Amino acid sequence: MTNVYFADDRFSKRHNKLKNAIRDKQIILQKTKQKFQNKGKFILDDIKETKSKVRDTIKENVWTIPNMLCMTRIVLSPYLGYLIVNGNFEYALSFVAIASITDLIDGWIARNFKGQKSKLGSFLDPMADKVLVGTMFFTLTYIDLIPIYLTGIIILRDLVLIGAAFQIHYMSIPKPRTLSKLFDVTNTNVQLAPMFISKVNTTVQLVMVCATIAAPVFDYVDHPALQALWWLTTSTTVLSAISYIVHRKKTYKICNNLKR
């Protein structure tokens, strides 16, 4: 009889131990489930907040004169490429002159007239310049008026700067980093402060592409002066990239508001 009681007690202890283990597992599973539910809710809330930010940005007055001028440069850039590829260099020169004037005008209007500065414009203005200049470099390289190595160096430099700015912008976002914070242009952001060598480089690039477009018109293709301008552009582009890397703390400034 004693053995029976002993076996029953041992079975009861094992049963209770197993029951406790099952209960502990259920608690762990419940906590894990709650954790995933909370994380899922956090992601959904973040997506909703991101959509709200996008809607707010869209509601902003984007139909400003500077934005329209920027969009005009972007939309007409392929036509400039078409003119260059088809050898209509006289028209291409006129187009570049008009585009340069609109670039000056849109910046002046945004700075001096109320209601003409916008968040969208802070992105459109540099984008329009990159699209226009990039189109000229690609097409002039395509028709063998600019060496391919030069275009490659310029594109690589721009990609490095864009990548560095994005990385610093991401690191500047307070934790937890979310999509809404990443794409919120009103949030703490990174502003690129142009250095003197960068301004010189931009000027040299514009002079070079304009001189290259004019070369077939005035018959000085492959002139030594034009080739010297290629090397000058290469030098200023490389120096500009090195300066941004060496002085990146001064170059990329964290600011609360993007300025055009």
The answer for residues whose C-beta is within 8 angstroms of residue 46's C-beta and 6 or more apart is 178, 179, 180
Least confidently predicted of 107-111, 160-164, 189-193: 189-193
What kind and span of H or E run contains 189? strand 189-192
pLDDT at 258: 42
% of the chain beyond a pLDDT of 90: 22
Give the residue among 147, 124, 141, 27 at the shortest CA–CA distance from 84.
141
Q: Write down the pLDDT at residue 28.
A: 76
Reported as a pLDDT band with limits 50, 70 and 90, residue 260 is very low
* Phi, then psi, of 256 in degrees rounded to 5: -85, -25
Report the pLDDT value the prediction gives residue 86, as an integer from 0 to 100.
94
Q: Which CATH architecture has domain 65-255?
A: Up-down Bundle (1.20)
- Evaluate whether 257 touches 188 at the Cβ level (below 8 Å): no
Report, as an integer, the average pLDDT of 162-166. 71
For the chain, the domains span 1-59, 65-255
The residue type of 73 is: R
Cβ-contact 100, 88 below 8 angstroms: no
Rounded distance between C-alpha atoms, residue 109 and residue 68, angstroms: 12
pLDDT category at 232 given cuts 50, 70, 90 is very high
Q: Mean pLDDT throughout 175-193?
A: 61
Distance between CA atoms of residues 130 and 31, nearest Å = 51
Whether the pLDDT of residue 257 is over 60: the answer is: no
For residue 107, what pLDDT is reported? 78
Query: Mean pLDDT: which of 10-19, 97-106, 170-179, 243-252 is highest?
Result: 97-106
Residues 235-257 have a mean pLDDT of 72
Could you tell me which of 78, 181, 186 has the C-alpha nearest to residue 128?
78
pLDDT for position 81: 94
Using DSSP's 3-state secondary structure scheme, residue 178 falls into: coil
Query: In the predicted model, is pLDDT for residue 153 greater than 80?
Result: yes
Least confident of 74-88, 178-192, 206-220: 178-192
> Please, what is the average pLDDT of the chain?
76
User: What pLDDT sits at residue 151?
Assistant: 92
**23-74 confidence digits (pLDDT tens):** 777 777 777 777 766 666 667 766 766 666 555 554 556 678 888 888 888 9
